[in-house]
Structure 1
Amino acid sequence: MVSSPSATPASALSAHAITAHMGPCAILHDIHLALAPGRWTSIVGPNGAGKSTLLRVLAGLQSCTGSVQLLGRALADWPRRERARTLSWLGQNESAADDLTVYDVAMLGRLPHQAWLAPPSSADHAAVEQALRATQAWDWRTRALGQLSGGERQRVLLARALAVQAQVLLMDEPLANLDPPHQADWLLLVRELVARGHTVVSVLHEVSFALQADDVAVLAAGRLRHHGSTQDAASHRALEQVFDQRIAITQAAGMWLALPRLERPAAPAPSAAAPVSA
């Protein structure tokens, strides 16, 4: 269940003057971003835009200058266990021991709720069952993680993140290895979470899926180029621009979709060659 704070914060997550480096290279440049509670925001941009780095900054997993606030409180001021109960994370290429059962992997999401060395409570077992059923992984609960395909593993790791029952969920490329039906299931699941008051932030390469979110944050070259509703024409123009006009945002079946433009960009005109002397 989502906790009920005495006063709803203006932002579920906010970043102020965020700059992040990888070695000597700046990956993010002076990012200011405020994400409203109870909404789904997708972070989108071309390869190397800094999307995953920004998500890691919001999760407190990446060092940076500037500040991040979670529910109106500085992220650094949250006790670790309380923060882990409030903010759930699913990263790229997440791993768990292959010999753990699917059930035990999902139960890892309940660790922030458990006292040191305490056995799982009935609430823990109920949360794990709910998460595994939501990702259609319940039937594999006794199988070892190492026996699963890539898509099946992804669904189990998603269940681990859901089992936390956090108010804010951050997911980096959650559709990786999922086939189209399970991508659609993920979309429906996110919409259900938001309808129950959770805040979801996802990094997605699939622009058409990103357009099903409430809001989109568009990054390019480590800078925030646009943040707005996925329904706004300005958001569509920003997406087309950062992808060099190689996509077109159009509407079909009541949804906004990104279609590829198949023509190649015009090559630059050659400069005049100097005459060759004999």
Structure 2
Amino acid sequence: MVMLELDRVCVALGRRQVLSGVSATFGAGALVGIVGPNGAGKSTLARAMLALVPAQGRVLIDSSDVAAMRRDDLARRIAYLPQGQTLHWPLTVERLVGLGRLPHLGPMSRIGPHDAAAIDRAMTRADVLDLRQRVATELSGGERARVLLARALAVEAPTLIADEPLASLDPGHQIDVMDLLRAQAHDGALVIAVLHDLTMAARYCDRLLLIDQGRLVADGTPADVLTNGHLRDVYGIEAEVHLGGAWPTVTPLARSPLTAPSKSM
């Protein structure tokens, strides 16, 4: 059972303090959403969990400091789907998804039957099996996004961090991806997703972290976090919030006359 801990994580990029003292603990079996306005520090927080940016404080996975771990060992523990990836090499989809198995292979090793099965499982779950022989650079934006998700799934790590996994997807595939992320979590993985769509966050996530100007403003269930007060203070909006029933919704209505929008960081 994986455990990921953030202990007073701070990140400065140049002269900007992007994250300030963020602490939280995540356990297996949960889909955790990180929400907040543009420039709040959400993606930086995701990258700090993987030691991809220099940070103060500590990030621990199962009591091991991620900054001190070998990169291949960390890659086996945490799969990462970054946002806005550009593909430069004309690989087939199957070969691209197969790159997710690299943390499990030794030098000069080849893909074996166990790896091939993991690749097939990942492509099936991401609904890209029919694209396996297509050249990845020739795919549409939505197809490419699902293929890159399949690559992350192919790692079969106990933790998955996905940064804006719904970008470039049509509404149907957004639902498919959120269904998949929730299924991964409820099958026992820890899944952390940076999200902008507050309705999707409310419907699918077990827990939300609300980040604003580098600080953790709220941490709890969607009902605890997506309050009118938080939306007004953090996003500077008035919204219609319905979190009861089977289909929670958060509908922005207007800029709040009481607060200015948060400054970008």
Q: What is the TM-score normalised by the length of structure 1?
A: 0.87
1:187 aligns with 2:187: no
1:220 aligns with 2:229: no
The one-letter code matched in structure 1 to 2:68 is D
1:251 aligns with 2:243: yes
User: 2-side partners of 1:74 and 1:200: how far apart?
Assistant: 19
Q: 1:20 aligns with which of 11, 14, 35?
A: 11
Partner-residue secondary structure (3-state), 2:120: helix
**2:262 matched residue in structure 1:** none
1:200 aligns with 2:166: no
Partner-residue secondary structure (3-state), 1:261: strand
Deviation at 1:235, TM superposition (A): 4.5
Deviation at 1:267, TM superposition (A): 8.1
User: 2-side partners of 1:28 and 1:69: how far apart?
Assistant: 17
Distance 1:123 1:143, change over 3 A: same
The one-letter code matched in structure 1 to 2:133 is T
Partner-residue secondary structure (3-state), 1:116: coil
Q: 2:164 aligns with which of 168, 173, 177?
A: 173
User: 1-side partners of 2:258 and 2:221: how far apart?
Assistant: 34
User: 2-side partners of 1:50 and 1:203: how far apart?
Assistant: 10
User: 1-side partners of 2:172 and 2:89: how far apart?
Assistant: 25
Partner-residue secondary structure (3-state), 1:143: coil
Q: 2:154 aligns with which of 163, 168, 177?
A: 163
Partner-residue secondary structure (3-state), 1:246: strand
Distance 1:28 1:93, change over 3 A: same
Maintained 8 Å contact 1:90/1:157 = yes
Count of aligned pairs between the two proteins: 257
User: 2-side partners of 1:165 and 1:182: how far apart?
Assistant: 21
User: 2-side partners of 1:255 and 1:224: how far apart?
Assistant: 27
The unaligned stretches of length 5 or more in structure 2 are 260-265
Please give the root-mean-square deviation of Cα atoms over the aligned residues, in Å: 1.8
User: 2-side partners of 1:92 and 1:151: how far apart?
Assistant: 13
Deviation string, structure 1 residues 32-85 (Cα, Å, up to 9, x no partner): 121222211100001111000011001111111111001222112333222111
**1:46 matched residue in structure 2:** 37
Distance 1:252 1:98, change over 3 A: farther
> What are the within-5 Å matches in structure 2 for residues 1-278 of structure 1?
8=1, 12-211=3-202, 212-232=204-224, 235-236=226-227, 237-251=229-243, 254-262=246-254, 264-266=255-257
Identity of aligned residues (%): 35
Maintained 8 Å contact 2:237/2:252 = no
User: 2-side partners of 1:231 and 1:221: how far apart?
Assistant: 22
User: 2-side partners of 1:190 and 1:267: how far apart?
Assistant: 36
Distance 1:252 1:149, change over 3 A: farther
Structure with higher Rg: it is 1
Deviation string, structure 1 residues 210-254 (Cα, Å, up to 9, x no partner): 11200000011111001111243x543434531223333213651
User: 1-side partners of 2:258 and 2:45: how far apart?
Assistant: 33
Deviation string, structure 1 residues 111-149 (Cα, Å, up to 9, x no partner): 011111111010111111111111111111111111100
The one-letter code matched in structure 1 to 2:6 is A
Distance 1:267 1:122, change over 3 A: closer
Maintained 8 Å contact 2:81/2:165 = yes
Q: What is the TM-score normalised by the length of structure 2?
A: 0.91
